[in-house]
Structure 1
């Protein structure tokens, strides 16, 4: 796939989950296995895309072929849909190999983070996981709609949330946000194409997965070492609902205003 001057490719994945309730509609926030926040992130690759795909595929083949890596997490994928890099499942030695590979790729990453609350989920997102996903995605897209160009958004498949009609809803919300800004009533000429895919078919999605995971470790555990390792490639992280830091855009994190262990979220019971 060749990029053209008026075509940009972004690769999107998420971290955390969109669960709010257990069976019987009991509050699941704060229970084991349910995340405190949800993250959607996107990677922009400036290197040749086919060369980057080749790099990632070669590493994946190296892992599969190396007897040292013949562990359950690798074999399970090999026996199912095929092996792909996934930060949550990968053993530390594999993670380090891919993290080091990421540093060789000219790319940038940005993400939107939402702390999960029952009150906001029921009111703003109508108690629907797909609406929650669409709303976050719209915040990620809204600053990409100002140029006369084509955006190809390669999205990691996530059930109902990434069905075409829900992705289109996210785009509509992004357009509404652009138009609600002062001077934002001009016709939007950006053409957006959603390409929902699996990491076994699109290896660059694995980049987005690792970046999202590194951000998730900060917000869920207060662990910053993975974020620090990749920080120079992370252009923006927005803590969307941290109202206490809205003044001065202190909820916008970058190399100049980095995340710290203090960004860890505690599960909300509201």
Structure 2
């Protein structure tokens, strides 16, 4: 029985990271204005969760093998962002989509598709000022907990559920993660399929470069982020068979028939999320 439990340990772990920022406002001439979508401020905040469906040691070894090739490849070491990670990373180079050159990104995405068995779920929070003010009370930790709760509310049968989380400051503090669990517990009992989320949930918060499997979540998030922030579908197309769900949490225009749940039957695209007609949210307080 012990051996069998060890063999299935991957079923208990979920690897979690975030993308985008939680900046909404700035002061100008004594007046608060929205900066969403301006000067590098993201239009969305999102959290992703990856389930690695094979032996975790084997999966880590595969990612380490890929990283070792990058460490030894002078064509990639000419990039300063790559060379810095080779020199400073916990175990040398580690993939990070926003910092990787495009030819490396393409290579890693192809590697993930061919070598590692995993699935991803992502919750996207469009940055809507009224929701941030009235629902989240201008509190970034409350926003984070609200988004995170949607990823864990249906994980009641995984006991223990071990959340391996990329540490991102105060948003991933244990207090805030516990708040996410409380919100998820409330949501689980009032869903279309009532559940009781009373399983043991453990948090394993660590630096991004200390757990190479977090790079899978990072890459999945990056491909979805490109759809929402730049209207680019091609990277998501490469990984879409591995991304089982993208929940566009606050797109009320798609609530009818749950069209804001993007799955393999209702595919995510720049057109589907209305990228071309997506105006900057207004704030006139």
Does TM, normalized by the shorter one, top 0.5? yes
Q: 1:36 aligns with which of 33, 43, 58?
A: 43
SS state at 2:120 partner:
strand
Distance in structure 2 (CA, Å) of the matches to 1:202 and 1:46: 16
Distance in structure 2 (CA, Å) of the matches to 1:165 and 1:44: 24
Q: 2:113 aligns with which of 95, 103, 114?
A: 103
Q: 2:203 aligns with which of 194, 217, 220?
A: 194
Distance in structure 2 (CA, Å) of the matches to 1:31 and 1:148: 41
Q: 1:158 aligns with which of 148, 160, 168?
A: 168
Aligned residues: 268
Q: 1:203 aligns with which of 191, 212, 216?
A: 212
State yes or no: 1:48 paired with 2:55.
yes
State yes or no: 1:92 paired with 2:102.
yes
**Unmatched 5+ stretches in structure 1:** none
Partner of 1:174: 184
Distance in structure 2 (CA, Å) of the matches to 1:148 and 1:32: 41
**Unmatched 5+ stretches in structure 2:** none
1:201-236 CA-partner distances (Å, limit 9, x unpaired): 100000000000000111111111111111111111
SS state at 1:86 partner:
coil
Partner of 2:15: 11
Q: CA deviation at 1:187?
A: 4.9
Worse overlay, 7-16 or 32-41: 7-16
State yes or no: 1:214 paired with 2:223.
yes
1:123-182 CA-partner distances (Å, limit 9, x unpaired): 11110111111110011111112x262111111111100001000000110001113346
Partner of 2:34: 27
Distance 1:6 1:79, change over 3 A: closer
Distance in structure 2 (CA, Å) of the matches to 1:97 and 1:48: 23
Distance in structure 2 (CA, Å) of the matches to 1:46 and 1:152: 14
Distance in structure 2 (CA, Å) of the matches to 1:23 and 1:203: 39
Structure 1-normalised TM-score? 0.93
Distance 1:17 1:191, change over 3 A: same
> Alpha carbon RMSD of aligned pairs, Å?
2.0
Larger RCO (CA within 8 A; separation ≥ 6) = 1
Q: CA deviation at 1:72?
A: 0.9
Worse overlay, 15-24 or 50-59: 15-24
Distance 1:188 1:257, change over 3 A: closer
Q: 1:128 aligns with which of 123, 134, 139?
A: 139
State yes or no: 1:75 paired with 2:66.
no
Partner of 2:281: 268
Could you tell me whether the CA contact under 8 Å between 1:6 and 1:150 is conserved in 2? no
Could you tell me whether the CA contact under 8 Å between 1:13 and 1:42 is conserved in 2? yes
Distance in structure 2 (CA, Å) of the matches to 1:20 and 1:2: 44
Q: CA deviation at 1:40?
A: 0.6
